[in-house]
């Protein structure tokens, strides 16, 4: 496998999709095949799981923390097997919104589950595949929530969680980045869009000359 696997992480409203789009365009401009994808929901099965996880509402009742972690892991297994690995095998660059680190931050740090256990099931689901680089768009959750409100639309199940949950998720991401500075690249998501993009490109360029 010789493609490049890049993931973007961060809280809700941190600007991951915008930056993933810009990075994808930049990589395509360098003549590379880019696969833009996301979790949850990057496959047909995943789209069903995403609907249940984020918009299940009263119809599914309260979701147990372990059940939630396993549903994200199921989405991941299907996605890695059907989208990510095949792309990497044909030397494409995968630019993905959210991956294992989201499970560690949301189901682990944000909930009651042990981060090491969430890591174990997620790693198993992904067949041990880790990204070459993970970009953390770090933002105060209050700013992220304000941006989401400004975009309009209603909050999904996770977005509706209490402020403490989102603060714990942010701390979780920061701790992960600190523990793995080789893989993680943290950018202040309050910076202007262009500036964030420039920093991300600076980091990713290093991989293109391997
Ligand atoms: P999404 O609309 O993709 O969020 P965003 O636009 O903020 O990236 O929704 C994904 C939600 O699912 C988000 O609130 C984070 C959550 N999530 C987990 O809790 N665990 C996971 O493993 C993943 C991939 C996402």
Evaluate: CB of 101 within 6 angstroms of ligand 1.
no
Evaluate: CB of 12 within 6 angstroms of ligand 1.
yes
pTM summary value: 0.95
Nearest CA to ligand 1 atom 22: 103
Q: To which H or E segment does residue 137 belong?
A: strand 133-138
Taking a C-beta distance cutoff of 8 angstroms, is the pair 54, 160 a contact?
Answer: no
> Average pLDDT in the 25-54 region?
97
Q: Is the pLDDT of residue 210 over 80?
A: no
Q: Is the pLDDT of residue 153 over 80?
A: no
Tell which atom from ligand 1 comes closest to the C-alpha of 144. Answer: 7
Q: Cα of 201 to ligand 1 centre, how many Å?
A: 24
Taking a C-beta distance cutoff of 8 angstroms, is the pair 130, 96 a contact?
Answer: no
Q: What is the mean pLDDT of the chain?
A: 94
Q: Is the pLDDT of residue 157 over 80?
A: no
Q: Is the pLDDT of residue 204 over 80?
A: yes
Tell which atom from ligand 1 comes closest to the C-alpha of 11. Answer: 7
Residue 1 pLDDT: 64
> Average pLDDT in the 31-51 region?
97
For residue 55, what are its two tokens?
């918009």
């Amino acid at each position: 496998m010789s493609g490049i696997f890049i993931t973007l992480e961060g809280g809700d409203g941190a600007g991951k999709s915008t930056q993933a789009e810009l990075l994808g365009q930049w990589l395509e401009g360098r003549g590379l095949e880019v696969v833009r994808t996301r979790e949850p929901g990057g496959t047909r099965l995943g789209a069903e799981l995403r609907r249940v996880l984020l918009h299940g509402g009263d119809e599914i009742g309260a979701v147990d923390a372990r059940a939630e972690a396993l549903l994200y892991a199921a989405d991941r297994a299907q996605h890695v097997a059907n989208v990510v690995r095949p792309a990497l095998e044909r030397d494409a660059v995968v630019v993905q919104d959210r991956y294992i680190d989201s499970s560690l931050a949301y189901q682990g740090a944000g909930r009651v589950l042990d981060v090491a256990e969430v890591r174990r099931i997620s790693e198993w689901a992904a067949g041990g595949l880790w990204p070459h680089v993970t970009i953390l768009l770090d933002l105060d959750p209050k700013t992220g929530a304000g941006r989401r409100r400004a975009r309009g639309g209603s909050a999904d199940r996770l977005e509706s969680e209490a402020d403490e949950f989102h603060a714990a998720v942010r701390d979780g991401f920061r701790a992960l980045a600190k523990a793995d500075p080789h893989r993680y690249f943290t950018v202040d998501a309050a910076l202007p869009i262009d500036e964030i993009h420039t920093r991300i490109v600076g980091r990713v360029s290093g991989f293109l000359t391997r």
